[in-house]
Structure formats: C-alpha cells, structure tokens
Amino acid sequence: MRSVTSFDIIGELIFVDASVSGPAGRTKVRLILDTGAVLTTLHPSIATSIGYTERDSIKPTTIQTATAVEHGYMLHVQELSSLGFRMRNAPVDVADLGHDIDGLLGMSFLQHFNFEIRPFERCILVGRIAP
C-alpha cells in the first residue's frame, strides 16, 4: 500500500496532520516531521486530553533540544495515525518542546515505512515495508 500526503512548510519546518487515540478518545494534531527524532513526541496537554498521565508512563525521558533539556515520559498510545497509515500501541514521548507545537512525528513511527519527501511538490510519498 502507498499513500501521498500533502504537508505545510512553516519557516523551515514540515508539518503533517496526525491523530492520536487513548482511553479518553481521539484528537487531531499537527506534528513536525522530524527524521532526527528517535521517538514521536506529544505535548503533555494532548496526552492528557486522550486520557494519559505520567502514571501511565513506561519510563522517564530526557530530550536535548537545540535550546534546552526537557524532561518527560514514555508511554504507548492506543493508536497513532499519520501519512495515510496507522500504528496501534505506538510508543511516544510526552514532553513540552515549547514554541506551541503539538509534537514531532519521529522515527518510532517513520521507521516502518519507505518515504520520499518532495519539498517542491509539498508532498510525502509513503509505502509500507513488507513484514
């Protein structure tokens, strides 16, 4: 299966639409596509809105950003959907990265696909890797 997803460029950042589900429901988010991020990251307010708290964490985390060190926690959300695909029991880091962003779509999601980013066309071509 293949998908083509459009994206927005704001400044030098690529933003993609996503949705995330937890025990309290589903919400739509705008995530920065970040191939340098090991984990997909969500703002704590988003985790809370879908029913997660730090009590649900697997382990504490520390993220080194360009300007600060952020402390958070890792958990698995019921479902993460983006780029035309969905992942159940998806690992995410919950941390406030500042700048009023919902989070990052990182390699914990992206590693399951082959993808091609076409900046001029403002689209991402994505194909699932065969198991």
The dihedrals phi and psi of 99, each to the nearest 5 degrees, come to 60, 20
The dihedrals phi and psi of 77, each to the nearest 5 degrees, come to -90, 155
pLDDT at 65: 67
Cα three-residue angle 131-56-75, rounded to 5 degrees: 30
Q: Is the pLDDT of residue 1 over 90?
A: no
Q: What domains can be seen in the chain, in order of their start residue?
A: 2-128 (2.40.70.10)
pLDDT at 131: 67
pLDDT at 4: 95
| 43-57 per-residue burial string, b: 16 or more CB within 10 A, e: under 16 | bbebbebbebeeebb
pLDDT at 66: 66
Q: Can you give the pTM of this predicted structure?
A: 0.91
**109 Cβ contact partners less than 8 Å away, ≥ 6 residues apart:** 40, 80, 82, 87, 90
Span 47-105, pLDDT tens digits: 999 999 999 999 999 877 666 778 899 999 999 999 999 999 999 999 998 878 999 99
